[in-house]
Amino acid sequence: MENKIQRAREKLIVALDVASTEEAVALTRQLAPYAGVFKVGMQLFYSAGPEVVRHIKEQGVKVFLDLKLHDIPNTVAQAAKALAGLGADIINVHAAGGTAMLQAAAQAVRERAATLGLPAPLVIAVTVLTSIDQRTFNQEMGLTGEIEDRVKAWALLTRDAGLDGVVASPRETSVIRQVCGEEFAIITPGIRPAWSVSGDQKRIMTPAQAISAGSTYLVVGRPITGTDNPAVAAQKILQEMAEVL
C-alpha cells in the first residue's frame, strides 16, 4: 500500500487558490508530503507575480502553471516562452485556439526549455471547463451537440498538434483515453470526494472514480484547502486514490 500511496501522491495536484506568496508557501509546506504537484492559477499568479513559481518549487514539488493562454499564435507563443523560463512543470493553453496556436505554444515552450537547459514542461490544452453544464454549453455558449463530443474533438486536435495532453472533466476521461492512447496526459479538475460539497463545479467525480476512468492527474482545491485540517483531507483523498491504483 505504501507504494500505491506514493503513486497517488505523484498524481495529486493541489490548487493553491490563495492571493499571496506567504499563503501559497505555507500550504505547500504543509501538503508537500501528500501532493507532488501544486497549481498556480490566475488569482495567485496575478497577485503574487511570477516569482511565486520559484518559491513553490523551492519546496521540492512540481508546479502546474494554470493560466489558460488563448490568443493569436504569436502572442501565445511569446507568453508561453516567458512562462517556460520560470521553471514550471506543466503549462496550459486553450484548445479552442486552434492548431496553429497550439503548435506555436508547444514549440516555444520546448525551445525555451532547451535553451535554458531545463526539462521541457508538459504543454496541456484546456477543453471545456468543469463549471460548464450542458444547458450552458448549448444555450449560453451557442455550441451544438454534446459536451463529450466537443471534448473528444479538442483532445484529438491537441494530440495531433503535438501537445502532451488535455485538461478535461473526469466525465470525459474514459473517452479521451480510448481515442488518444495511454501516454496522453489527462488532468482532471472537478474532483469532489463524497464527503465534500460540489460548489460551482458541475461535471464531477470522486477521486476513486476519476482514477479508475484513466485520469493521469487529479486537481483538488477547496476539498483540501478549504477544510479546517488540509493535511487530513489530503490523506483521505490519497487513500481513496491508492485503493484503485
Tell whether 69 is in a known binding site.
yes
Annotated catalytic residue within 11, 57, 62, 71: 71
Any known ligand binding at 238?
A: no
150 labelled binding-site residue: no
User: Please, are residues 84 and 57 in contact by the beta-carbon 8 Å criterion?
Assistant: no
Q: Is 196 helix (H, G, I), strand (E, B) or coil?
A: coil
Is 203 one of the annotated binding-site residues? no
Q: Any bridge partners for residue 69, and if so which?
A: 93
In the residue annotation, 68 being an active-site residue is answered as: yes
User: Has 159 been labeled as part of a binding site?
Assistant: no
245 is in an annotated binding site: no
Active site residue 89: no
Rg of the chain (C-alpha set)? 17
Q: Within 13 Å and on the Cβ side, how many CA atoms surround 108?
A: 22
Catalytic residue of the set 11, 62, 66, 164: 66
71 is catalytic: yes
Active-site residue among 4, 57, 68, 133? 68
54 labelled ligand-binding: no
The answer to whether 127 and 95 have CB atoms below 8 angstroms apart is: yes
- 8 A C-beta contact, residue 72 and residue 47: no
73 marked as binding residue = yes
Compute the distance between CA of residue 206 and CA of residue 146 in angstroms, rounded to an integer.
22
**Binding-site positions:** 17, 39, 66-75, 130, 192, 201, 221-222
**Binding-site positions for substrate:** 17, 39, 66-75, 130, 192, 201, 221-222
Which residues are catalytically annotated? 66, 68, 71
